Amino acid sequence: MQAGGHFDLAVTKSYARHLRRLKEPLPVDDVEFPQDKDLNIVNRRHNMGRGILLWLLGIPLPIVILLVLFLR
């Protein structure tokens, strides 16, 4: 705002241009959307495989060690 209470015309024009740019949609051709569903399935399978492997190493291994120690 200038001293006389009037708006600067250049500022209002640039602000109007800015508002017009905000209203324009983005070009769809440039945007790539990841397939969230496919990534989720891959991650879930990976986590499940890791859980099974950890269970196989963590649960039966101490039991096998105890059996070996007691059955000697």
pLDDT for 2-27, tens place per residue? 455 555 556 677 777 777 777 766 66
Domain that holds residue 22: 9-70
pLDDT for 47-65, tens place per residue? 777 878 888 878 787 888 8
Q: What is the model's pTM? A: 0.30
Eight-class DSSP state of 3: T
Domain total in the chain: 1
Q: Return d(Cα 56, Cα 33) in angstroms, integer.
A: 38
Asked if residue 3 is part of any domain, the answer here is: no
